[in-house]
Structure 1
């Protein structure tokens, strides 16, 4: 009779952050082989989430078969001066055997501060009995600082509240996030906010055409195109695109060729192995539509419309990092995002997405002829859904 290794259990917390969910770990709680980057860590997270799954359902894991719910986070106390916690994010592929470490998750960033406080990763002396705890987070994927302002009640993280976030069914406590100096320092892009040196480029995409595009490294590398140029209005919901194989192939072609222009990959063939970044999004001037919840969004409620794809599918709301890119680009006169919002200088923008609306602010200035954004600001919420241990077969690593 064959013998099989028993399951091992690992302390973990299942959390919602913004419009995403993920499995959170303390680095110290991972099996020793998975405490360092490499095949063992990736194998563990793939098995935890339930990937790769040729059925696309992640039934045998913690994932929920969408890019918003196929995520893992590893946190540890930070040795970096002026920071409390190091935050590493893994976007787990649903049907392929890989974990993409190339970018951050802005939504789950909202859960990092609450988790860190609750799990002893933040010095207790900096957490008030009542009020707001300021948690300085080192985002290890992109080498950036995020400042989280976490509400505290009676010495513990306050999770309940009346803050409503479109794309999340129930209200919760508000967590304010500041993404400091959000221009992403991507390999090949030279750390430039606009890696091509232009606010708008002519992007040639075989089979699609030549499109005007704003390619920006802020929050997460993002390629913005105009909705009208690719046959859309900017009011689309998921079903209008995710069931259209030709449309998804078109967006992937735009993403791949944009990634090459941004210096993120050397050729379009490398795009398949880098699904998390860059993002591709399309923008349009304000128009009225009905959100996926049935909530009406009036043209006067928003400054522009934005839709973005994540891991090859139209996102049900808006990725937090892409929201940072939207806010940053909107603050810089002349980008396609700024023009869709009416042009001119602005410090905040409210945009319409498939689930409703979101406001994001950004502080932009021009230094020595180059645009610089010192920070982008937005509010999310976070909540513990379950905590305890996650189990995987002992032969996983």
Structure 2
């Protein structure tokens, strides 16, 4: 509302912002070209956050995001801003915003690995990649600078008749329909400025309240790769590692426990100074439980044979168990699995079993399975990973404009 006439309020019209609604991997979000945003939202700050919150439909005390583009889950409450890159040997800059559902908050602290698979497709379709780098048929290599964490991502995008090919027969558990395969490489995926293992240890004693475990200590592998992640043995918390969403998301006490573990892990990783700060850093770190492979039935009813996977992993995102696996967490899993002595490597059998896929680790998640590979080596006593690789798919769902009331910007 801006003015009044004869005591009657006069309301501002909605503004139109060019946008593309895309699925990437098992996530979807609203993509923007930086230059299409209102001037005030083209820079970091309150105006940008207010715009994205209103686009997605947050904060929503009903938890539904009915009045916005969000889908009321961590996988569907996402925004992406793409710009032509001025960084050498890169095509585009990619900035990811995880929008809280019930709070007026956009978390810029990490990347979304799933939506990374859609960035190359969006960039090509939006004319942000030099045409000389796109063949008439074949694979276009898009060099992406991930601005949240300052890392390079390489997307291998299939091209047919000069256009991005989105349809295909590649199946990804957690996505209903097949599509074209997009291979994504995460180069030097250690996240943030610190070491890959911020404590210097492959396994730590994570101090937590005694209400969680009587000893007040959990074994944990805390790693900065893809996204900061705290891995815990499922058995220590009374789980098998083969749980589906309802087993955890329907248990308020369990969710509170995992959030407490996440907060204490964030402090020990040096991401925050006090556990109270975790509430303002919801996107990172992630917390995940790992276990040796066992048979289970996925959320789609698909039978997962323990002999088809190397381990089971369940990860939480934005306070809830993820329906599949976050792409960045998959990078963390692949990286940790490649390094002997981590909880992930131990759960995968570490020398006792042959991996299901040579050079890769295949893990079970609530929707099925996922294969990810990583190249790890030790340099001067410190572990480093050159890259992690996985295959995803991406598709434009809708393109045009989003409309929002003028007030936020």
Q: TM-score, normalised by structure 1?
A: 0.98
Displacement over 4 Å in runs of 4+: none
Match of 1:274 in 2: 281
Match of 1:154 in 2: 161
Cα deviation 1:161-219 (Å, max 9, x = unaligned): 00000000000000000000000124xxxx20000000000111112131100000000
Aligned pairs for 1:217-296 within 5 A: 217-296=224-303
Hey, what's the Cα distance between the residues in 1 that align with 2:34 and 2:319?
30
Contact kept? 1:42, 1:98, Cα under 8 Å: yes
Aligned pairs for 1:41-190 within 5 A: 41-186=48-193
Unaligned residue ranges in structure 1 (runs of 5+): none
Match of 2:202 in 1: 199
Q: Secondary structure at the match of 1:2?
A: strand
Q: CA deviation at 1:396?
A: 1.6
Unaligned residue ranges in structure 2 (runs of 5+): 1-7
Cα deviation 1:214-239 (Å, max 9, x = unaligned): 00000000000000000100010000
User: What's the Cα RMSD here?
Assistant: 0.8
Equivalent in 378, 390, 394 of residue 382 of structure 1: 394
Match of 1:352 in 2: 364
Hey, what's the Cα distance between the residues in 2 that align with 1:232 and 1:107?
26
Q: Secondary structure at the match of 2:195?
A: coil
Answer yes or no: is 1:333 the counterpart of 2:336. no
Q: CA deviation at 1:375?
A: 0.1
Task: Figure out how many residues of one structure are paired with residues of the other and give that number.
Answer: 393
Match of 1:312 in 2: 319
Match of 2:408 in 1: 396
Contact kept? 1:216, 1:325, Cα under 8 Å: yes
Q: CA deviation at 1:347?
A: 3.3
Hey, what's the Cα distance between the residues in 2 that align with 1:171 and 1:276?
28
Match of 1:34 in 2: 41
Larger Rg: 2
